Amino acid sequence: MSSTDSKDRRVVFLDRDGVLNVDRYLTYRLGQLELVDGAVEGLSLLQALGFEFIIVTNQSAIGRGLYLEEDMHCFNEELCARLEESGIRITDVFFCPHDPVFGLGDYKRDCACRKPNPGMFFEAADKHDLELSKCYHIGDKRVDVMAGFNAGCRTILVETGILDDEHKYPGVSPDIRVKDLPKAAQVIAGELALERMRDRDVFVPPFDSSICAKLLGDHRGRSTRPRVKSVRGAS
């Protein structure tokens, strides 16, 4: 892959349970597999914009002995196959099976890959030659937000999962919070359009970012990291 290709390549990292498939708390049986409403619609829009998809998922129940890695792989394969039937291609899947407290044997490990640590993102970036600052991470929990922050990605929280970890990450907010994947895709499309306008120097100065927020339905959340300054044209 050339340096130009790498620079232009865009990836959306996706949490699995609660973002792509309905979260059943302990989700590994094929009979539990149900796509989240709007998942295909949202991914189709993003794919049309040129984005690729990589799944990054904590699966600590493996480490706790509640199901096997083979069970998870079978579930992931069926999930990807169902998305493929709708024209959605998943580039890769990364998972963390470790649990630093309740893990059994080698699975009891304080690892770098368990979200909110960014190890899975770094591994994906090395494998696929990605610039993480140009990537998004979409998740349904605060731990996903923290992982995206730590990896240097732009973070989106969707409200289609089980948001049960707010008490663990007080004050942590995503860059963007929306109802579902279609809304996330619309916001990303808007941001991508603004970026391309900026790159082509077509803004009419002064550029008012509040107008864009209103056009996008004011989906932006608060961030615990410094914001990127609004782009302004020459005075």
pLDDT of residue 200: 79
Query: Do 60 and 114 form a contact (C-beta atoms < 8 A)?
Result: yes
Rounded-to-integer distance, Cα 184 and Cα 12, Å: 11
Catalytic residue selected from 5, 17, 110, 201: 17
% of the chain at pLDDT higher than 90: 72
pLDDT band at 2 (very low <50, low <70, confident <90, very high): very low
- Kindly list the structural domains of the chain, giving each domain's residue range(s) and its CATH number in brackets, ordered by start: 3-215 (3.40.50.1000)
Task: Name which of 34, 9, 4, 233 is nearest 125 in CA terms.
Answer: 9
pLDDT of residue 235: 34
pLDDT of residue 222: 42
What are the tokens at 153?
């990605």
Q: Could you tell me which residues are beta bridge partners of residue 52?
A: 11
pTM of the prediction? 0.83
Task: Note if 5 is an active site residue.
Answer: no
- pLDDT for 95-113, tens place per residue? 999 999 999 999 999 999 9
Pick 63 or 227 by higher pLDDT.
63
- pLDDT for 185-232, tens place per residue? 999 999 998 888 877 776 545 555 555 555 555 544 443 443 333 333
Task: Name which of 161, 143, 144 is nearest 37 in CA terms.
Answer: 161
Question: Helix or strand or coil: residue 45?
Answer: helix
pLDDT of residue 116: 97
- pLDDT for 114-167, tens place per residue? 999 999 999 999 999 999 999 999 999 999 999 999 999 999 999 999 888 888
H helices, E strands: number in the chain: 8, 6
Catalytic residue selected from 15, 23, 99, 175: 15
Query: Do 111 and 117 form a contact (C-beta atoms < 8 A)?
Result: yes
Task: Note if 208 is an active site residue.
Answer: no
